[in-house]
Structure 1
Amino acid sequence: MNTIQQGSGQKYIIKNPTLWALTIIVGLSCATYMPSIVSILPVMAREFEGVENIDFWIKLLVTMPGFVAAMVAPIVGRWLNLYGKKNIFIASILGLSVIGFVPYFLDSIYLIFASRCFLGFVQAGIITSTTALIASNTIGQQRAKMMGYHASAYGFGPIIGLLVIGYLGDYGWRSAFYIFLFPVLLLPFIIKYIQPIDLNDPKPIPDSAQTEQSIFKAYPKLYFIYFMTFVTVILTFMTVLHLPFYLTSLGNIQPSDIGLAIACWTGFKGTSALLYKQAKFRLNFNQVFALAFFILGIGFMGIWFTHSYYQVLIALTIIGIGTGLLLPNINTWLAEIVPEHDRGRALGWIVTFMGLGQFLCPIITQPLINLFGLPQTFASFGLLLMASAFFLYKKAL
């Protein structure tokens, strides 16, 4: 445990076991998180090839939970204060297991699609509750450190899911959904080790916080933070949605190969998130975004030059390094400018913009890929990212 002295003279204890347990559990539960099924999408597309526009429907299986999360996240954000962060987290983990396993029994792509929609509630609950728990248990540099570790859990956790689902997918796409039974085993550890406390706002909630004042008016920087959240998710899902199909086009690629490739991306994403504290120590928030965009631009442009499986792996490692810096930077900046009494609402809107980006990604990018081709589309985005990096590095917000 660490003792922190605040300006009032009071001492508050940071419960590291709570933070580490939360980070580890999030990582393990993310083994079954929504994008993990990307490795079996091509197999599912062949299974339902008689369905009109099946390629589009298959990709919506990954992105539709984000759209639902976008709609319900502001409500879930308010539930954090009404029902408790820990209770929302427990309900979300249970829902991840129950709802996630349902497609195993379904023979209709439309019913599978409906079940994935319900996962949007789970997605909103996991993201808001875990981020709020870490934000209210940390302050200062430790917050930046733990947000980095938290984001790395979202990077390393899905490696397990991607590899397991990929290899199970070799024996049939239904078998892959067995992994969704795993998160329920984490519930005893959540109940025992995660103890929510609020270090950051020991004083009573001010009267102004009781009103329905727009958080956008109260904290104008949220406009930029939410915009960057939307962009971050678009870039992330461009990678996980389209590259599995691009890999398949290279010939003789199995679901396990796709799982390994995306696991490589998410592994470097997690490693990069672990290094976020060092980047934030030397750069301001805007400059961290610039660094991430510059690295992402190199990786996206690299797709243009790929003609083999291993060349795509190299590009994915670079993309992963850039992606890993984005989420902890967003969460740390939000936690720094929004006090505890408004943080639930602010985090709810974070998930809304994440969900919108997740849902709109194929709608925005698929027509471009159809028109210009995947390598050309990724290269164009790469050039735009590198140009944006120079602008962000110089601009002060």
Structure 2
Amino acid sequence: MTSAESSSGSSPGGGPGALASATLLGAATMTIMAGATIAPSLPAMAEHFGAGTELRVRLLVTITALAIAIAAPVAGFLGDRVGRVPVLFVSVALYVAAGGAGLVLSDLLALQISRVVLGFAVAGVMTSVSALIGDLYEGPARDRMLGFQGAAMGFGGVVFLGLGGLLAGISWRGPFAIYLLPLVLLALIPLALGRARSGSSEPDSAAGNASPLPIGTLALICTAAFIGMIGFYAVPVQLPFLLTERGNSAPAFSGAMMAGMTLVSAVTGLAYGWVARMVPLRGLAVMAFASIAIGLGLIWLGSGTTYPGLAGLGFGMGLLMPTLSRWLLSVTPPMARGRVMGALTTAIFAGQFASPLILAPVIANSGLASGFLAASVLALFVAILLAATRPATTTTGRPAT
């Protein structure tokens, strides 16, 4: 095998090369915070579109999450049937076109439609990347890669939210330029992952027929993901307005605060492979939700505890995303990975979309800060629920660890 083949195809040990891994991680940066990239410009956008548009402007963030939640099962099904790589390539192209449309669109309705299309693209990217990680990696290498995927999401948030805050200070349209960055992936995906079409990413029907879908575990994990995202997404949707209420109205400031949270998440993801060797899956999930609950509670307490609160929330998310994916991949037959990752993606982004709607009654009656307290209580409930569950069983019949 030549060095070029090693970098873009498979390694001698049968795993993907460095370029394939880098391409998957580059695509991962586009996912979890895709809708929140424009969050720092929301107050300025509401001012631009005029009185009475504040709710519609906030929905520009969450409507993307709804579209992802709706499209993810379809994207997962297509990935299982036609291949993860073609779905990934088309999704990245759609992501660039729909995300960058905000640079030129002037009508709020047209902007909302573009955000829906962006959601369809993110659904394809996230399900394909997660399924490909399950296909191309095994054992500790998969654990490390899932941690790196979470880290890539976190570092993507640092760059996109931080840059979004700076660009929002220039113009509310500025953050939309960030969606053009993945253009480079359109060249890398065929080069780095083209071999995966006829390799590990193809469904293994024999393995799939031997193991049923883990419906009970899937329901538990998806419920946990949904509730976790209700709390997490209170930050990009509600925090800019809470900071304004507390006297810090600069878009760059809110962008920097959220970027700091995602930086903690990214660093946690980098260490995930090491942590996963010492702590069982259920313990990691409980730790994640306990940290999220503490972080949200600290944000509720006041300005002085906002920084440590965001750090706690970032730590919890750094553990949560790879843990939930790893848990499901450990109990899912290869032929169903796309659909199962699609279901998890649906739960994640349904929680993002539902976050402002579920917290709205609390905020209306008790104020913005109380919304974070309510989200903290929900996260604590999930931590207790997961602590009381029995370990899942893997496709080999062993308890998931």
Percentage of pairs with the same residue: 28
The counterpart of 2:267, out of the listed 261, 268, 271, is 271
Contact 2:208–2:334 (CA under 8 A) maintained in structure 1: no
The counterpart of 1:223, out of the listed 215, 219, 224, is 219
Q: One-letter code of the match for 1:175? A: G
C-alpha separation in 1, matches of 2:71 and 2:32 = 23
Match of 1:316 in 2: 310
C-alpha separation in 1, matches of 2:320 and 2:260 = 18
TM-score of the pair, normalised by structure 1: 0.88
Match of 2:7 in 1: none
Contact 1:28–1:183 (CA under 8 A) maintained in structure 2: no
Sort the Cα spacing of 1:66 and 1:200 in 2 relative to 1 into closer, same or farther, 3 A.
closer
How many angstroms does 1:330 deviate by? 0.8
C-alpha separation in 2, matches of 1:202 and 1:102 = 35
Match of 1:7 in 2: none
The counterpart of 1:281, out of the listed 270, 274, 277, is 277
Contact 1:139–1:200 (CA under 8 A) maintained in structure 2: no
C-alpha separation in 2, matches of 1:125 and 1:205 = 25
Match of 1:241 in 2: 237
Contact 2:84–2:131 (CA under 8 A) maintained in structure 1: yes
Sort the Cα spacing of 1:183 and 1:31 in 2 relative to 1 into closer, same or farther, 3 A.
farther
C-alpha separation in 1, matches of 2:353 and 2:204 = 39
SS in 2 for 1:170: helix
C-alpha separation in 1, matches of 2:142 and 2:274 = 13
Sort the Cα spacing of 1:238 and 1:292 in 2 relative to 1 into closer, same or farther, 3 A.
same
How many angstroms does 1:391 deviate by? 4.8
Match of 1:385 in 2: 379
Q: One-letter code of the match for 2:164? A: I
Sort the Cα spacing of 1:32 and 1:251 in 2 relative to 1 into closer, same or farther, 3 A.
same
* Paired residues, number: 379
How many angstroms does 1:206 deviate by? 6.1
The Cα offsets for residues 34-85 of structure 1, whole Å up to 9 and x where unpaired, read as 21111111111111232x3x22212211111221222222211111133321
TM-score of the pair, normalised by structure 2: 0.87
The counterpart of 2:246, out of the listed 242, 250, 260, is 250
Contact 2:35–2:65 (CA under 8 A) maintained in structure 1: no
**Structure 2: unaligned runs, 5 residues or longer:** 2-11, 392-401
How many angstroms does 1:247 deviate by? 1.1
C-alpha separation in 2, matches of 1:101 and 1:391 = 41
How many angstroms does 1:201 deviate by? 8.6
Determine whether 1:152 maps to 2:146: no
Contact 2:161–2:259 (CA under 8 A) maintained in structure 1: yes
Match of 1:40 in 2: 41
How many angstroms does 1:319 deviate by? 1.0
Task: Map 1:89-100 onto structure 2 (within 5 A).
Answer: 89-100=88-99
How many angstroms does 1:92 deviate by? 1.3
Contact 2:231–2:376 (CA under 8 A) maintained in structure 1: no
Task: Map 1:108-147 onto structure 2 (within 5 A).
Answer: 108-147=107-146
State the Cα RMSD in Å: 2.6
C-alpha separation in 1, matches of 2:202 and 2:191 = 25
C-alpha separation in 2, matches of 1:168 and 1:299 = 28
How many angstroms does 1:292 deviate by? 1.0
